[in-house]
């Protein structure tokens, strides 16, 4: 049985001993291990069932530690760090030779982030090193945004889960690569949006295509086990079915089956999305219907995750 704790020191001791611990961050909960111990990193891949070609993000206590992992920190990366760290931004930079290629999935670049969650920062400080921390869920399932959902994912393990409440951002970090000979590139959307990044960079970000391999961006990901369909036009014939669940963002309609309304603020919606999916997925419904939010830029990351979690109905 996993154990939920608030004891930071127990967690730091386990991490130093090469064991895994679950840590809260402002994006989602992470399955943390000492980034300098290959045997610990191997356990992360094994427990998640994550393929070895999907690299991990190295979590640091502060930006000054970036040079312990990156061989070069280009000016554009320094500007982004100054503006957005600590926060939900991951930077992919050239890796130093001694960085484990287990962490980078064989690549010569490494992904770095300084999380903002106070408990994550306190754990990094108590541990005294860097932590890999991919989302604390089994490969391809929904990322957990509270301790109880982590416990559900790893019910048959004896993991120690450091409780940090509900994640405030709720979606995985925005990922930008800043590599020599290439323009800064947006590899994964997140709630830190493209306009804010471009305002700091003073230039448009290139998109993923043509950039470095950004593994782990499978079309299907973050998926509930229930058949999940997104819609713009309400499938009115399903409103009366008791075994259909609903996730609304505006103009929620009366339904016979269970329904949640996440509202029209993209940040509030994102913070609550995964918990809502866990809740509805647990009800053994035949279908889950999700109303698509508006298409403007503030919803880009939500649309990206919904597209991976579902099929489009209309």
Let me know if 169 is exposed, middle or buried by CB neighbors in 10 A (0-12, 13-18, 19+).
buried
- 229: β partners: 289, 311
What's the CA gap between 32 and 152, in Å, rounded?
Answer: 17
| Residue 170 interacting with ligand AMP (CB under 6 A) | no
Number of shown-chain residues binding ligand AMP (CB under 6 A) = 21
For 288, half-sphere exposure in the C-beta direction (CA atoms, 13 angstrom radius) is: 23
What is the SS3 assignment for 148?
helix
241-300: which residues touch Mg ion (CB under 5 A)? none
108-147: which residues touch ligand AMP (CB under 6 A)? 109-111, 134-135
| Residue 71 interacting with ligand AMP (CB under 6 A) | no
- 230: β partners: 290, 312
Tokens of 69: 């992992």
Asked if 113 and 65 count as a contact pair (C-beta separation under 8 A), the reply is no
| Residue 107 interacting with Mg ion (CB under 5 A) | no
Q: Of 163, 166, 172, 165, nearest to 88 (Cα)? A: 172
Of 18, 193, 215, 263, the one binding ligand AMP by CB under 6 A: 215
Q: Of 202, 189, 205, nearest to 306 (Cα)? A: 189
Closest CB to ligand AMP among 23 and 92?
Answer: 92
What's the CA gap between 282 and 299, in Å, rounded?
Answer: 26
Q: How far is the CB of 14 from ligand AMP (least distance, A)?
A: 20
Q: Count other Cβ atoms within 10 Å, centred on residue 221.
A: 18
Of 119, 135, 145, 168, the one binding Mg ion by CB under 5 A: 135
| Residue 187 interacting with ligand AMP (CB under 6 A) | yes
235-264: which residues touch ligand AMP (CB under 6 A)? none
Closest CB to Mg ion among 36 and 50?
Answer: 50
| Residue 107 interacting with ligand AMP (CB under 6 A) | yes
Name the binder of 215 from ligand AMP, Mg ion, none, CB < 5-8 A by kind: ligand AMP
Q: How far is the CB of 222 from Mg ion (least distance, A)?
A: 7
Of 140, 206, 214, 307, the one binding ligand AMP by CB under 6 A: 214
Closest CB to Mg ion among 135 and 173?
Answer: 135
What's the CA gap between 141 and 104, in Å, rounded?
Answer: 22
Closest CB to ligand AMP among 57 and 162?
Answer: 57
| Residue 57 interacting with ligand AMP (CB under 6 A) | yes
Annotated binding site for L-threonine: 27, 113, 133, 173
For 65-81, give one letter per residue: b (16+ CB within 10 A) or e.
bbeebbbebbebbebbb
| Residue 234 interacting with Mg ion (CB under 5 A) | no
Which spans of this chain sit near Mg ion (rule: CB under 5 A)? Answer: 135
Which positions touch ligand AMP (CB under 6 A)?
Answer: 54-57, 92, 104, 107, 109-111, 134-135, 172, 175, 187-188, 212, 214-217
């Amino acid at each position: 049985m996993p154990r939920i704790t608030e004891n930071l020191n127990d967690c730091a001791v386990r991490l130093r001993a090469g064991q895994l611990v679950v840590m809260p961050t402002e994006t989602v909960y992470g399955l943390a291990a000492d980034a300098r111990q290959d045997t610990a990193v191997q356990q992360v891949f094994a427990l998640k069932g994550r393929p070895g070609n999907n690299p991990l993000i190295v979590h640091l206590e502060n930006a000054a530690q970036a040079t312990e992992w990156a061989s070069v920190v280009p000016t554009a990366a320094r500007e982004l760090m100054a503006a957005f760290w600590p926060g939900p931004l991951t930077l992919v930079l050239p890796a130093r030779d001694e960085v484990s290629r287990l962490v980078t999935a064989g690549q010569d670049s490494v992904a770095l982030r300084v999380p903002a969650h106070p408990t994550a920062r306190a754990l990094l400080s108590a541990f005294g090193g860097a932590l890999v921390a991919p989302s604390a869920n089994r490969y391809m399932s929904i990322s957990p945004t509270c301790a109880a959902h982590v416990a559900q994912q790893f019910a048959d393990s004896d993991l120690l889960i450091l409780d940090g409440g509900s994640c405030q951002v709720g979606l995985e970090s925005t990922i930008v690569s800043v590599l020599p000979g290439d323009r800064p590139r947006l590899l994964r959307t997140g709630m830190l949006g493209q306009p804010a990044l471009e305002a700091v960079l003073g230039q448009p970000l290139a998109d993923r295509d043509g950039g470095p391999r950004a593994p782990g961006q499978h079309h299907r990901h973050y998926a509930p086990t229930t058949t999940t369909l997104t819609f713009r036009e309400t499938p009115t014939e399903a409103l009366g079915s008791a075994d259909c669940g609903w996730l609304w963002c505006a103009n929620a309609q009366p339904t016979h089956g269970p329904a949640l309304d996440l509202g029209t603020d993209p940040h509030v919606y994102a913070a609550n999305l995964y918990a809502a999916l866990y809740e509805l997925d647990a009800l053994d419904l035949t279908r889950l219907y999700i109303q698509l939010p508006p298409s403007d830029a503030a919803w880009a990351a939500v649309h990206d995750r919904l597209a991976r979690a579902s099929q489009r109905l209309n």
